[in-house]
Structure 1
Amino acid sequence: MTAAAPAPLDFYFDFLSPFGYFAASRVDALAARYGREVRWRAFYMRGIMQERLGQTRPFLEVPIKGDYYRHDVPRMARWFGLPLKSGGLANFISAHACRAFWVIHDHDPALAKRFAWEIFEWHHARATPPNTPEQVAQAAANVGWDVAHGDLALAVQQPAAKVRLRDETDAAAEAGVWGTPTFIVDGEVFWGADRLYLVEDWLRRGGW
């Protein structure tokens, strides 16, 4: 009897987060070393913050925490070896990009990953927040989205795309996700790009 393939690792992210950008650069290679696939799962972090966590104050306005964030993000970028030229938290509403991810994913999950990385780079490495449907569609075209699959700029504004993102966000919350990035492997939840070393330890040991 052929042994069952190991369960995939779920990678939950919102494009807004630079920590999601950092994690996206390494998660697939890490999982592959242990024979695992990665399911990339975009969700809308602002929805969870407001509806699930009751947080309405802009993150950077929180005393001490905001100052730490401003110091930590460049430090983490250096550690991950990634360029950082952020478009800023307040300047990016990621809903269109997150909706587009799922539209693309339903056609081609591999292309959706390439699109996700393109969006991460637009915002976090080029300081060009892809806010509009047209910008999101251009990012998709850059990585191979064929207009024969449909008008992406139009698709992300349709009720179906909005409902899909809300459903994915609700599913993420139900799975225990409250921050971005989050990794779930074998039912174990890890939050934060700096937890990748714990994810690897889990994969290497096969649990604890």
Structure 2
Amino acid sequence: MTFASRTRGALVHAYLRAGTRQAVWHRMRSRVWAGTPTLTFWHQVDDPWSHLLAQALPRFLAAFPAAELAMEIVPPPAADADPEPQLRLAHGIRDAAALASLYPELDFPRAPEALPDDRVRRANAALLSVADGRERLDAAIQIGRALWNDRPDDLRQGIGAVGAVPGHRIDPLLEDAYTRLRAAGHYQGAMIRYGGEWYWGVDRLWHLARALGADEAGLARALPSATPGRGTAPRGQVEVFFSFRSPYSYVGLQRLAERYGADPAVTLELRPLLPMVTRGLAVPEMKKLYIARDAYREARVHGVPFGRVYDPLGEGVERCLRLFEAAPPDQRLAVSLAAFRAIWAEAEDLTDDASFARLAAEVGLDAAQVLAGGDAWRGRVEANRAELGTLGLWGVPSFRVGDGVTWGQDRLDLVHRWLCEP
């Protein structure tokens, strides 16, 4: 570790910890002085994850009767935060259907299509006319079900029950709400803000319930109940598309290794990629900060060392890929995890020869030989990028088990269910 990387890593760690302390202080202050916790839900009508979160909130709010709900209606994310909107929507539809199959109380059709623009506009007009948070939530659930299940009569009935703002006001009201969202520190819908922290979709309701003081019994009351999985033992192959610059890839791969690393019936096929930014998909600063804090929170829950970070973008990533290529196939999981720890927990600057030599020695490789190797890794990562594209995905970590494809370390329970299918 160089002095510069040690200093930068300490600063990043301090920033991540400060965010946690700030959120705790904010929650304590709101309870002492305000008395009532306020949750702000940013809802996008044509976003599948927003629709699922809206359906989960009545049960959640019933478990916290003192909480108040504020609700904003926002448009799709701006282009800087959503470089692949059509792919993201297609993935969101698949993902929402998969989540609904896990949680019976959440409704989502198995094979819906993107929503017609005119119906989305009418739904926005209706929801924008409802001011109260709870009433707006009820309307969003009813109208959302009519939209996603292609029930035009129910849609007309839902809109008729609440009214609608004039057409010329729809876009300005949506843009004003999106401006408030960006000013508050985020960039997309399906988000809840409470106590200075952000919580995405159904997946982060667990964290939100904990922030509101829930114990185990409270969690059971607040969160959707999953259908029990099959009792069969897992077996098969998991293809893991990942990037060394992705903190979620690190958390996901560490969790997979702990669960299946010693299981001879499960094979992890690792498929590394270059970071999104080097593939022409830029990430705005606001998104980077949210991802860092959210990944830190997830890492803490799953016991993954995380926080002292040194960005490996550029040569650092390439050296990790060279190390991966040089390792024997049966050692690539250990090599990948060692590289991830160096980047995300130990703030190692892997462009520094001494730091890279220590990493190589840790995994039983010679740094000089690794760096003198050819460029075979480039063909590997390009083939992996192309394969990921054929799956309709672009982000990491992504996973494939047979015909099942999903994205995000949040979906490892789904991966496990696929492995347990006969």
TM-score, length-scaled by structure 2:
0.39
Cα pair distance change 1:185/1:169, threshold 3 Å: same
| Aligned mate of 1:96, from 319, 330, 333 | 319
State the partner residue of 1:21. Answer: 250
Matches within 5 A, 1:25-104: 25-31=254-260, 35-46=265-276, 49-50=279-280, 55-56=281-282, 59-62=283-286, 65-89=287-311, 91-93=312-314, 94-104=317-327
Matches within 5 A, 1:46-195: 46=276, 49-50=279-280, 55-56=281-282, 59-62=283-286, 65-89=287-311, 91-93=312-314, 94-104=317-327, 108-131=328-351, 135-145=355-365, 151-155=369-373, 158-195=374-411
Cα deviation for residue 75 of structure 1 reads: 0.9
Measured in 2, the distance between the counterparts of 1:78 and 1:165 equals 30
Measured in 2, the distance between the counterparts of 1:176 and 1:10 equals 15
Q: Which amino acid aligns with 1:38?
A: L
Measured in 1, the distance between the counterparts of 2:264 and 2:407 equals 20
State the partner residue of 1:3. Answer: none
- For structure 1, which segment, 134-143 or 76-85, has the greater mean C-alpha deviation from structure 2 after superposition? 134-143
Q: Which amino acid aligns with 2:338?
A: E
SS of the equivalent of 2:241 reads strand
Q: Which amino acid aligns with 1:96?
A: R
SS of the equivalent of 2:321 reads helix
For residues 133-161 of structure 1, the C-alpha deviation after alignment (integer angstroms, 9 at most, x for no partner) is 764454222111258xx810111xx3433
Cα deviation for residue 60 of structure 1 reads: 4.5
For residues 5-30 of structure 1, the C-alpha deviation after alignment (integer angstroms, 9 at most, x for no partner) is x5411111111111111111121343
Cα deviation for residue 100 of structure 1 reads: 2.5
Cα deviation for residue 97 of structure 1 reads: 0.9
Cα deviation for residue 165 of structure 1 reads: 3.0
SS of the equivalent of 1:203 reads helix
Root-mean-square deviation (CA), in Å? 2.8
SS of the equivalent of 1:179 reads coil
SS of the equivalent of 2:269 reads strand
Q: Which amino acid aligns with 2:259?
A: L
Q: How many residues align?
A: 185
Q: Which amino acid aligns with 2:385?
A: T
Q: Which amino acid aligns with 2:319?
A: H
Cα pair distance change 1:69/1:168, threshold 3 Å: closer
Measured in 2, the distance between the counterparts of 1:174 and 1:137 equals 37
Measured in 1, the distance between the counterparts of 2:242 and 2:415 equals 16
For residues 154-178 of structure 1, the C-alpha deviation after alignment (integer angstroms, 9 at most, x for no partner) is 11xx343333333333333334441
Measured in 1, the distance between the counterparts of 2:240 and 2:338 equals 17
Q: Which runs of 5+ in 1 are unaligned?
A: 1-5
Cα pair distance change 1:203/1:14, threshold 3 Å: same
For residues 66-111 of structure 1, the C-alpha deviation after alignment (integer angstroms, 9 at most, x for no partner) is 443243122111111122124244x53312212321232xxx1122
SS of the equivalent of 1:25 reads helix
Cα pair distance change 1:29/1:126, threshold 3 Å: closer
Measured in 1, the distance between the counterparts of 2:284 and 2:346 equals 21
- For structure 1, which segment, 175-184 or 118-127, has the greater mean C-alpha deviation from structure 2 after superposition? 175-184
Cα deviation for residue 182 of structure 1 reads: 1.1
Cα pair distance change 1:29/1:61, threshold 3 Å: closer
Structure 1's consecutive aligned runs of 4 or more residues displaced over 6 angstroms after TM superposition are none
Cα deviation for residue 127 of structure 1 reads: 1.2
Cα pair distance change 1:70/1:60, threshold 3 Å: farther
SS of the equivalent of 2:372 reads helix
Measured in 2, the distance between the counterparts of 1:143 and 1:162 equals 21
TM-score, length-scaled by structure 1:
0.74
Matches within 5 A, 1:191-206: 191-206=407-422
